Chains A and B, each alone.
Chain A
Amino acid sequence: MKILIVGGGMGGTIVANNLARRIGTEVRAGKAQITMLSASDRHMYQPGLLYTSIGRLAPDELYRDQRSLLEPEIEFHVDPVETFDLDNNRVVTKSGKTHSYDQLVIATGSRAAPETIPGLAENSVNCYTEAAALEMLRQVRDFKGGTVAVVVGVPHKCPMIPLEVTFVLHDYFKDKGIADKVQFQYTYPIGRLHALAPVADWAKGEFARLGINTTTLFNMKEVDGNKIVHSEEGETVDADLLISVPPHRGMEVIEKNEMGANGFIPTDRLSLRMEGRDNVYIVGDTTNLPISKAGSTAHFEAETVAENLAALIKFGTTVRDYDGKVFCFIEAGKERATYAMFDYNNPPAPKAPNKAVHWFKMAYNQLYWASARGLL
């Protein structure tokens, strides 16, 4: 069986490694083949960008060599896919090579798209790419005082970022000794401070304690050159430093191949198969599922897909469904954190933040690499 994995991020890497451990014998015997196609020879730890944007994690610490993360049974090529020919079970890459498959996994991810809101790219900073995080660091470092506004587009990757970036910047300016010169204006698309009601309730108390102003039901329409953000709901927010969580889209290759609106592929919420396709699995941000676009989502989905692909070889059938599991750390400042864990049937019930969870998050910043290898 030829298994082709498109995308070398968190989801694709865990699928490949988890699968290689399960079917290593079959691969070595020539009965199965695992191939990964990626756009890059490097693997980025994306959550680290928040720390890079305040100077706490150097850019080179965000990356590992992708080949070094993969089990030896995995054939790896830096050669991104340009054409998906799903009817004929094959893809064509940028270099012009054709790869056929029996089972296909698509884990190409998503990207921040500030250009989809007029004026947002020119007038705000964010921490979704290395270049953006370094620009954010420059503007944050040079900020002398005024209003810091946080604006949030939908959908977006990492649902905790709006709160985390607010708490982290609050502590940054406090440490810098200019907290009395900085006002925070936090905005959020729905009628509370976070999608998760218990997290929103907790944040409400924290923001009141810290003197952070809030505006809810605020969806960006456009940003003018004076850093005034106009909302779809007819309100405005002024900023001296505008921190954005831009709306996201799937990758262009998905849009160009007309596989899903905005680059998000219609996916069955339990089997994780692409709708209408029995041998195409979708993992991570690439799905159109209404669940968190987060590394943990990709991780848990990847484990499900890897187990099912191995089961197709060993049992001739898949053996389990994805249960909707998501786990998110929530940094509540520079030294406290909590977490939210939930699935399709169990709502989250986050505990009060503490130092222990913060230090575990710090440890996870390194443990991530074990996770990507499929060891954790």
Chain B
Amino acid sequence: MSERKIIDARGTYCPGPLMELIAAMKQAEVGDELEILSTDEGSVNDVPEWINKVGHEMVGTTQEGDVWHIVVRKAK
């Protein structure tokens, strides 16, 4: 597994955190972890919804102030 890739999508609305994650996931290798930083509370639900539907893995979600750190792993 390579170093965890950070996607800083704080304060961005368009294309937004999930779309950035989808784009980054295409470039990742199976087993890679990606951490997305989002100030959009909706990401807490949006990201797991997509991750589960496409078949990747949720690693965890934490909140630091108004920033959510959502970590996922490419599974296929």
Which residues does A use to contact B, with CB under 8 Å?
A: 154-155, 159, 189-191, 195-197, 217, 219, 232-233, 247, 261-262, 269, 289-292, 324, 326, 328, 340, 342, 344-345, 347-348
Contact = CB atoms under 8 A, between A and B. Distances in A.
A328 B15 CA distance: 12
Interface of B: 7-20, 22-23, 26-27, 42, 46, 49-50, 53-54
Chain B interface mostly: helix
Contacts of B26: 154, 247
A290 B7 contact: yes
A290 B8 contact: yes
B9 to A, nearest CB: 5
Nearest to A192: B46
Given A154-B19, A155-B19, A191-B50, A196 B12 contact: no
Chain A interface mostly: loop
A291 B11 CA distance: 9
A292 B15 contact: yes
A190 B22 contact: yes
A339 to B, nearest CB: 13
B49 A326 contact: no
Contacts of B49: 191, 217
B54 A345 contact: no
B50 A217 contact: yes
A345 B13 contact: no
10 contacts: A154-B15, A155-B20, A155-B23, A159-B15, A196-B14, A217-B50, A219-B22, A233-B50, A289-B12, A340-B14
